Amino acid sequence: MLILFLFLAQASYAQEFSKKITVNNDLEIVQLTPSVYLHISYAEFTGFGRVACNGMILTAGDKAFLFDTPPTDQLTKQLVEWISQTLMLKVVGFIPNHWHIDCMGGLAYLQSIGVKSYANQMTIDIAKAKNLPVPTHGFKDSLKLNLGTAEIDCYYPGAGHSMDNIVVWIPSEKVLFPGCLVKEVNAKGLGNTLDGDLKAYPQTIEKVLRKFPDAKIVIPGHGAFGGIELVRHTKELLKM
């Protein structure tokens, strides 16, 4: 009876915090925990068609922190306006997973409204070399920040999907955001790895598995969120 009660309680919790909110045809929001939201944006990518791109929002008090932007400034503006008008929160910080457009395509807009940005120093160096908008504050290996009482842990596990990809861990929520480094459970392949390192990728994934075994929610760069099984699935894909 106790096991059944716990299962039902967990299912009820998941249902309560997994309702999809449609902002417009190109932007959706899903609340994952009382403090964490998934933002999903849709954009056309050459060779791939219309693609859904994931990002994360952390909230605390009257503030919000973004992890990855939608691919465009316009969609990012719409996301920030939704956060401001619906959640009544001010976006105060931003961290991209890596340098690709589905992670920091809206950085120029965020900078125009004074949002602080942090990134792997490798991401900053690549952005400069490619004449992209450049995050302001760099770090190497790891970075710890706080939003209210919530701790934000950023960690560079090594190259994989890209040379600079990081993972973000919110310990109070047991939420891991590895972005495009990790694939959804239904993925049949690794996607675009042209800017990554397939030789280092398995070791990088193994580091993530060892460091975050307690992750309850894992958010991939594209597709459905899940648990730690997403990281294990990516590990299996690397063996193919």
Q: Are 231 and 183 in contact (CB under 8 A)?
A: no
Annotated catalytic, 103? Answer: no
- Look at residue 3 and tell me whether its pLDDT is greater than 70: no
Active-site entry in 53, 68, 120, 161: 161
Domain boundaries, the chain: 17-237
Annotated catalytic, 39? Answer: no
What's domain 17-237's superfamily in CATH?
Ribonuclease Z/Hydroxyacylglutathione hydrolase-like (3.60.15.10)
What is the average pLDDT across 190-195?
A: 94
Annotated catalytic, 180? Answer: yes
- Look at residue 37 and tell me whether its pLDDT is greater than 50: yes
Active-site entry in 39, 98, 120, 164: 98
- Look at residue 14 and tell me whether its pLDDT is greater than 60: no
Annotated catalytic, 98? Answer: yes
- Token pair, residue 151, equals 């701790």
- Quick check: helix, strand or coil at residue 8? helix
pTM equals 0.92
Active-site entry in 120, 154, 222, 233: 222
Annotated catalytic, 197? Answer: no
| Percentage with pLDDT > 70 across the chain | 93
Active-site entry in 39, 102, 120, 154: 102
